[in-house]
Amino acid sequence: MIAVKPGHRRDFTAYLHWSRIHLGIRAPVPRIERGGASALQVFVEYESTGRLRPTRQPRLLRAVLEGKADLNRQVRDWASGYSDCGGWTYLRYVRRFGLRCVPAWAFDAARRLHLRELAA
């Protein structure tokens, strides 16, 4: 059993909020079976090992995994349009007024990904 750290809870919550407020294209997620572990515990194990085990909260886990896939796609979109949309100033505006549920690391990841694309 893998310990749940504060960063795991932060990410779990961010992905869940994203899936609830941002109704983008839903990404396919693996089949989730009903079982005994909590959705948070299964999410942490999935992040660490890449394997899903049964959970007693399959709909919650599905929402989190869909939110994760969609938020990661959004980060890639922000990175590809970084210069076009005003760069860091735009992302700060979006974070402050539009998407408060998105953690700072998502915006930092978009900026780093944009810089990596420029260097390539």
Structure confidence by residue, pLDDT tens digits, 53-73: 899 999 999 999 998 888 888
- Predicted pLDDT at 42: 93
Which tokens sit at 47?
Answer: 């992040």
111 or 101: whose pLDDT is higher? Answer: 111
Helices 58-80 and 39-49, axial angle in degrees (round to 10)? 50
Q: Is the dihedral of CA 14, 17, 22, 28 positive or negative?
A: positive
pTM greater than 0.85: no
- Predicted pLDDT at 44: 94
Which tokens sit at 34?
Answer: 């009903």
Band of the pLDDT at 76, cuts 50, 70, 90? confident
Per domain, the residue ranges of the chain are 6-119
66 in Cβ contact with 16 (< 8 Å) = no
